[in-house]
Structure 1
Amino acid sequence: MTDWLLALVPSYGLWLLAAVTFCSCLALPIPASILMLAAGGFVAAGDLELFATLGAAAAGGIAGDQLGFWAGRWLGAPVLARLRRDPAREKLLGRAVAMMDQRGAIGVFLTRWLFSPLGPWVNLTAGSTGFGWRRFTLAGVAGEAVWAGLYVGMGYGFAGNIEAASEMLGSVLGFLAAGAVMIGLGLWLRSLLKAQGKP
């Protein structure tokens, strides 16, 4: 499927790129990252324009995020309301909603590009827990801009050498993800120690 999609880029360019990033934000197994790298190579070759390509990739992702958010709001909220009838679940869900309210924006931002496989599920969660649409949208737009910029930019920088760009980007994102996990674990440990009254 990847080769077939790549062969369509010269003919359908920006529309294809927007459609693929849209579908990938709905958890459909489509190689959006590879297509963005290839689109960056087409920009380097002069076949596509840089800002239009960045805009198409980000716009598709933003539209997919919005659909996921509103699907969570319309379909997930009633399910959560039913689950909250049980007092034990109510307590657990209350904590989850509070955590989403406190740290949701950073979660939305990071799952657009650093932990992108989680993005569609965070969209649904944000919608169903009543997370603010404006906060979700601002964090989502910023994250999609980073996602599009990284992948199209690397494709452009490596002039279409998708394999080399993918390896480099995988290494950088892996390093950043490991750092984010380490910081998150450190903050979690600190909050546990603080709850136990230890400095």
Structure 2
Amino acid sequence: MFEHVDVNYLLATYGYWAIFIGCLLEGETILILGGMAAHQHVLKLLPVIGYASLAGMLGDQLLFWAGRYFGERLLPRLHKQQAAIDKVTSLIQHHPTVSIFSVRFLYGMRLVGPMVIGASKVSPLKFVCINLVGAVVWATLFASAGYWAGEFLQRALGDLKPYRLPIALGVVALVVAVGLIRHFRAKRKAA
């Protein structure tokens, strides 16, 4: 089924769009794959970081404004996210600057965090500035991790061209497995 898929063509043609859209939604998995594609010279590392930074920042800005305007009505409806909401609220009260910068790095708080920050009445200018720095650091770390993972795999396997699709599927499967394990641990802990 997959033997006729030209992964190089797909990455070169749609890679930056995939990174942008993926980083609007979630980001880490697609960003690691983007870094690996940069290692293989299918994409370039700086544009990968740039598109990911822009998308990560834009996504958080949209969530911030959703929290600013709809937070009082929306946040109480997110019962399953209450633990994350409480953690972000506490972090904002004690360390507002750190919370803005770090919320994208904290598991389970990537989506709800910016909404809680928006609802907390943190200054929009402060959020934009710190969010920009956080997005660039986040994109640089994950894209670089993908780049160095590509280097490691190339040393272990040699030429990676025949392995690109299995590696991509493996990274996605690994991230999904880790996410599921964390989800079920959190669910068990909550129960």
TM-score by length of 2: 0.62
Q: How many residues align?
A: 137
1:158 is paired with a residue of what secondary structure? helix
Partner of 2:53: 58
For 1:111 and 1:59, how far apart are their aligned partners in 2? 16
Contact 1:22 1:64 in 2 (8 A): yes
Contact 1:21 1:60 in 2 (8 A): yes
Partner of 1:36: 31
Listed one character per residue, the Cα deviations across residues 161-187 of structure 1 (whole Å, up to 9, x for unaligned) are 469xx7xxx9xxxxxxxxxxxxxxxxx
Q: Do structure 1's residue 111 and structure 2's residue 103 form an aligned pair? A: yes
Partner of 1:175: none
Match of 2:68 among 56, 73, 80: 73
Partner of 1:124: 115
Structure 1 residue runs of 5 or longer lacking an equivalent are 1-6, 25-31, 81-92, 171-199
Structure 2 residue runs of 5 or longer lacking an equivalent are 1-6, 76-85, 154-166, 176-191
Partner of 1:156: 147
For 2:43 and 2:74, how far apart are their aligned partners in 1? 45
Cα offset, 1:143, TM superposition: 1.5
For 1:11 and 1:121, how far apart are their aligned partners in 2? 32
| 1:116–1:99 Cα change, 3 Å | closer
- % identical aligned pairs: 24
Partner of 2:131: 140
Cα offset, 1:10, TM superposition: 3.8
For 1:98 and 1:42, how far apart are their aligned partners in 2? 39
Cα offset, 1:102, TM superposition: 4.8
Contact 2:91 2:99 in 1 (8 A): no
Contact 2:11 2:42 in 1 (8 A): no
For 2:90 and 2:39, how far apart are their aligned partners in 1? 45
Partner of 1:180: none
For 2:104 and 2:91, how far apart are their aligned partners in 1? 19
For 2:20 and 2:137, how far apart are their aligned partners in 1? 15
Contact 2:37 2:43 in 1 (8 A): yes
Partner of 1:191: none
For 1:11 and 1:152, how far apart are their aligned partners in 2? 19
Listed one character per residue, the Cα deviations across residues 137-180 of structure 1 (whole Å, up to 9, x for unaligned) are 222112211211111101112226469xx7xxx9xxxxxxxxxx
Contact 1:37 1:155 in 2 (8 A): yes
For 2:142 and 2:150, how far apart are their aligned partners in 1? 12
CA RMSD of aligned residues (A): 2.8
Cα offset, 1:111, TM superposition: 1.5
AA partner of residue 117 (structure 1): G
